Structure 1
Amino acid sequence: MAKNAFGDAPWWASAVFYQIYPRSFADGNGDGTGDLVGVRERLDHLVELGIDAIWLSPFYRSPMADGGYDIADPCDVDPLFGTLADFDAMLAAAHERGIRVTVDIVPNHFSDQHPWFQAVLAGGKDAPERSRFVIRPGRGADGELPPNNWPSVFGGPAWHRLPDGDWYLHLFAPEQPDVNWLDPAVPAEFERIMRFWLDRGVDGFRVDVAHSMAKPDGLPDLDLDVLADVGTNMPTAADLRWDRDGVHDYHRLFRRVLDSYPGDRMAVGEAWVADPARLAAYVRPDELNLTFNFALVEAQWGAKSFRDAIDRSLASLADVGAPCTWVLSNHDVDRAATRYGGGPQGVARHRAAMLVELALPGAAFLYNGDELGLENVELPDDALQDPTWERSGHTERGRDGERVPLPWSGDVAPYGWTSGERTWLPMPDGWGPVAVAAQERDPASTLHVVRTAVRLRREVADLTAGEFAWVDAPEDCLSFRRGDVTVLLNTGGVPVPLPTGEIVHASAPVTGELPPDTAVWVR
């Protein structure tokens, strides 16, 4: 078994993962869209950052109705991103640098351009592929009404009518028909997909919408009042569309496939569920290895909110003996610096939160641009591409603001991101100071703060293997100990005394006292 440097735990139990959104990381051929060549060419940035593994968001053949999560061929690379040979070269280059590579698997739906669904459209009610999707007759005198009242995550109803008069379910966009996991062809196909990428050498998977594949018997109507306060994609136990008990059988299949390969192959699930106990079920010993824990994403800036999120997470996963995961941003949520108020204060809080995240027990996930302290970009209406924008009738702007390409060098767009002139989403003015090259030259930059934190996490054993314990802290502060390292976060408005000891690292300059919106590691 491949182990990490801190004992018998498998590598993924305390790894630092780095999410790459391929369209936005780096453009290797100058066409304005990020690609696999760009990823390979920028791997040394990740070596310098010190991460252990990449999570690569979808690069598969797709019409791109939902940023690549509408997959037409899950065993091929979309020409937008390159070729299978480009993927193999990127994977080999990452492995040569000691970086593992995990990729997305999307088991809830395919693209409507997938051969199975195209066969349904061509063959109508006689198509054998029909049972592989969730298709039902409509309600009303002529079946003109959807089978139930479920809403789509992206707005509007979750049903679309077929030419033959029946309706198919799409919990996301109409271009993403849900597959029916009760049909044996579906689990068999996803085992084939997993083995295709595992045979090529990937180290694991991120399971998209891992709480969605099992549908309730009879597909009953949903009490829409339960969504009033949480929206169509946030966890509530009363939302019948998500987190049905049957989903765990499918994750056991994933685990059996992973365990049939050498090298501690792994899977982490994206499960938005109602409470920590439900989340823990996804990482029971025979299910997924890790599951995303969005408690810190949902936490408001403040010591109490952070502590409650950490407490709930640690307690629930301890019951099943699974490591926690920690994440502050990803391609689906506003960047942390924006959520924490934006501007210099938001960036300062983001840096402090990163030091908290990287000192907590378990695995940590960074999103590309976290190391630069990037904020969301307010894009013009005509640049928006997220399906939420159209499906909501232009009332919800969607997720494009956190998907803008990364600035690498220079003072004007496209900041070294492409050799061409255009970028798939426009880059803002004024990003020169946050570009990688500029932050490289500034030892006080966010990039250096994060690099140092990741390096120390590897070098100071207590930051990975030390026991976790809360420590009394001043008002509006949070403090915990990992072995002989004390972490202190000041979310209040006034400086507070520092713990006694040697300052190992801080999110901002510290002299005598810990300033507001700052975190410190003390040994």
Structure 2
Amino acid sequence: MSWWRDAVCYEIHPRSFADSDGDGIGDLRGAAAHLPYVRRLGADAVWVTPFYPSPLADGGYDIADHTAVAPDLGTLGDFDAFTGRAHALGLKVIIDLVPNHTSDAHPWFRAAVAAGPGPGRDRDRYVFRPGHGEDGELPPNDWQSAFGGPAWTRLSDGDWYLHLHAPEQPDLNWRHPEVVADFAATLRFWLDHGVDGFRIDVAHALFKAEGLPDAGPGQHQDPARNHLMPYYDQEELHPLYQSWRDLLDRHPPVAGAVAPRDRALVAESAVFDPDRLARYVRPDEMQQAFNFAFLEAPWDAAALRAVVDASLAATASVGAPVTWVLSSHDAVRPVTRYGSPARARSAALLMLALPGAAYLYQGEELGLPQAWVPDDRIRDPLWTRSGRRDRGRDGARVPIPWSGSCPPYGFSTAAPDRTWLPQPEDWSRLTAEAQEADPHSTLGLYREALRLRREHPVAAHGTLRWLSPAGAPYLAFERGGLACVVNLGTRPLPLAEAGVRGRIVLTSEPSDTGRTPHTPEVVAPDSAVWLIAANENAENDQNAASAENTAAIGKVEDREGNGSHG
């Protein structure tokens, strides 16, 4: 089975991960030094968010050069060293490709501005249009930016340009052959530097409907309607992604990286209709597509079950795995989103028990809550674009705590007020160092869950069997000899009532060790347990395989320099 079908991938937001040179900004050398920690956690791959040159109008997703490294994050040599160390540890490397837009500092856009109004090579690479009204003073249509306000900005020469995000992120014209050719060259460039795959940013947005028709009211208010917008989910996307898949499958292999046909394309496609999302992972397109419907689902048994059922059915129809996501640099952290650490821990066990692939976001395994960032330190453009009503995503991007009792918690040697974003004063108990010594910690829970997940592999789709009846206030299911029970109700749930039998091997409750098999009679509200089916015959063989895998990881860490926190 291809590695990406059931992989656990760990997202690294480099400026907030680890700082190697004391400037307060995380960098590639710092990230490379902490890769043994990621491997020990049990991940199979790392996804690195943009490390390219950028004015940072949108956290690095406004890119001025797609084939270089931002000076504050390191050099191309540092990237090669990062990839080499990841591969030595058995980790695949996925990087962001951001094809919908560039920075307004990109040479192409500067040339477009200088070219003046009217058709021509420079402006045709982007989406420029004359305005409406007597003097062209009105935008070309009613499209709204996902960050708030109109999706059009007018230049002093009278032309308007499209930006579905910040004004500093002009949208590219994907019907222009130079745009197509440039990004194919970008894919080849990074493949030659050893990457194993690409996560395609806003993969649903590259092509816009011909004629740029109005989108109407309610834009960006109901994600379930995203696929109906004239700037999202257009049919022309799919031939493009088929060509990229063919490029990855055919491009020559690189030492240390996966074989060409094992490379992966991952769609960040905010399409909430399961059947339409499944089109992105058809056999000749991408391998994975983030399941945002699962991330957005409320803490409710019926809602979560409906998402799981619809997702598994849709992807099974095209032979693809579901790619589950609980958090990311764009989402409120689960501890805050669900309302408690207990629910976040239970949600983690739910996600990691589901068949398919899973993505973890740095600090999720530490149980970090969403941090409060002071007004004068907020970087997210959502803050200003919303009239300072939406505090944005910076609370999930605060540097993670590695060690110590006060900021910067081992993230950097810089003063606390000099770090990329400020850290809370009360995170000392959440550091990797503190949790390393605590058998009840969230870090321990994640490590054990990933170990058990490896011991009990399952096909990527079509293997989940519900044990709980529809409408129950709890979820119980079995997959490949492993059963999961999550109590989303308000009263304790006796396992006998749930009809689940087996040996409990993991519980989300921090009051238990989470590592010693035991047999509690009930599952508390907002808690989850994993059980090994009583009739599982291959348990000893699987335990032996797990022991060999753990020993192999230990040998690699001994060579690389073990780091519970670097």
The TM-score normalised by the length of structure 2 is 0.87
| Aligned equivalent of 1:99 | 91
| Aligned equivalent of 2:391 | 397
Distance 1:147 1:466 in 2: 47
Matches within 5 A, 1:176-325: 176-224=169-217, 226-227=218-219, 229-230=221-222, 235-261=225-251, 262=253, 263=259, 264-325=262-323
Name the stretch that deviates more: 330-339 or 117-126. 117-126
SS in 2 for 1:504: strand
| Aligned equivalent of 1:131 | 124
| Aligned equivalent of 2:545 | none
Write the letter of the residue equivalent to 1:384: I
Match of 2:26 among 15, 22, 34: 34
SS in 2 for 1:206: strand
**Is 1:478 the equivalent of 2:478?**
no
Write the letter of the residue equivalent to 1:451: R
Match of 2:487 among 486, 490, 504: 490
SS in 2 for 1:188: helix
| Aligned equivalent of 2:67 | 75
| Aligned equivalent of 1:512 | 521
| Aligned equivalent of 2:45 | 53
Distance 2:423 2:272 in 1: 36
How far did residue 381 of structure 1 move?
1.1
How far did residue 464 of structure 1 move?
7.0
Residue pair 1:358, 1:453 contacting (<8 A) in 2 also: yes
Identity %: 53
Q: Which runs of 5+ in 1 are unaligned?
A: 1-8
Match of 1:120 among 99, 103, 112: 112
How far did residue 484 of structure 1 move?
2.1
Q: 1:338 to 1:45 in 2, by over 3 A?
A: same
SS in 2 for 1:60: coil
Residue deviations 1:308-364 (CA, integer Å, cap 9, x gap): 1101100111111111100110011101111111xxxx1111111111111111100
Residue deviations 1:453-492 (CA, integer Å, cap 9, x gap): 0111112235979931111259411011012221111111
SS in 2 for 1:98: coil
How far did residue 394 of structure 1 move?
0.7
Residue pair 2:316, 2:462 contacting (<8 A) in 1 also: no
Match of 1:168 among 129, 149, 161: 161
**Is 1:382 the equivalent of 2:376?**
yes
**Is 1:360 the equivalent of 2:325?**
no
Distance 1:327 1:229 in 2: 21
Distance 2:453 2:441 in 1: 18
Q: 1:294 to 1:274 in 2, by over 3 A?
A: closer
Residue pair 1:466, 1:482 contacting (<8 A) in 2 also: no
Residue deviations 1:155-196 (CA, integer Å, cap 9, x gap): 111111123211110000111000001010011001000000
Distance 2:328 2:466 in 1: 28
| Aligned equivalent of 1:6 | none
The TM-score normalised by the length of structure 1 is 0.94
| Aligned equivalent of 1:439 | 435
| Aligned equivalent of 1:12 | 4
| Aligned equivalent of 2:100 | 108
Residue deviations 1:26-62 (CA, integer Å, cap 9, x gap): 1111111111011011111111101000010000011
Write the letter of the residue equivalent to 2:434: A
Superposition RMSD in Å: 1.6
| Aligned equivalent of 1:453 | 449
Residue pair 2:5, 2:460 contacting (<8 A) in 1 also: no
SS in 1 for 2:138: coil
Residue pair 2:272, 2:293 contacting (<8 A) in 1 also: no
| Aligned equivalent of 1:150 | 143
Write the letter of the residue equivalent to 2:287: N
Residue pair 1:457, 1:464 contacting (<8 A) in 2 also: no
Match of 1:467 among 440, 463, 474: 463
Distance 1:311 1:460 in 2: 21
| Aligned equivalent of 1:409 | 403
How far did residue 513 of structure 1 move?
1.4
Q: 1:55 to 1:361 in 2, by over 3 A?
A: same
Residue deviations 1:482-517 (CA, integer Å, cap 9, x gap): 122211111112221223221121112373211111
Distance 2:462 2:176 in 1: 46
| Aligned equivalent of 2:15 | 23
Distance 1:464 1:245 in 2: 26
How far did residue 420 of structure 1 move?
1.1
How far did residue 423 of structure 1 move?
1.1
Write the letter of the residue equivalent to 2:212: L
| Aligned equivalent of 1:429 | 425
Residue deviations 1:276-299 (CA, integer Å, cap 9, x gap): 111011111111111111122111
Q: Which runs of 5+ in 2 are unaligned?
A: 254-258, 513-518, 533-566
| Aligned equivalent of 1:3 | none
| Aligned equivalent of 2:552 | none
Match of 2:133 among 125, 140, 149: 140
Residue pair 1:463, 1:485 contacting (<8 A) in 2 also: no
How far did residue 239 of structure 1 move?
1.9
SS in 2 for 1:358: helix
How far did residue 424 of structure 1 move?
1.2
Distance 1:85 1:132 in 2: 31
Residue pair 1:27, 1:38 contacting (<8 A) in 2 also: yes
How far did residue 234 of structure 1 move?
6.4
How far did residue 274 of structure 1 move?
4.1
How far did residue 103 of structure 1 move?
0.1
